[in-house]
Amino acid sequence: MSNVHEEEALGKAYDARLMRRLMQYLHPYRWRVVLAMALVAVVTPLELAPPRIFQVAIDRYFLPSAERQFA
């Protein structure tokens, strides 16, 4: 019978009791966790920037000169 209860526990998407336990373990490191989350928020857009920069460079500088060359 314990297997049925274990399967029910594994099927939950969010377990508040487990989160409380994890937060207790993270409590001494809370500022490091906050810093890590802030850095994730800063780094993610920076990682998405290079494709946009290449798009602008190609559209504004490379393609207009190619169009003049073929015209």
In the DSSP assignment, the letter for residue 10 is: H
pLDDT in tens, 9-18: 566 677 889 8
Q: Which two tokens stand for residue 60?
A: 């504004």
Contact predicate 26/33, CB 8 Å? yes
Phi-psi region of 12 (alpha: psi -120 to 50; beta: other; left: phi over 0): beta
| Helix, strand, coil % over all residues of the chain, rounded to 5 | 90, 0, 10
Query: 1: helix, coil or strand?
Result: coil
pLDDT in tens, 46-68: 999 999 999 998 888 887 766 66
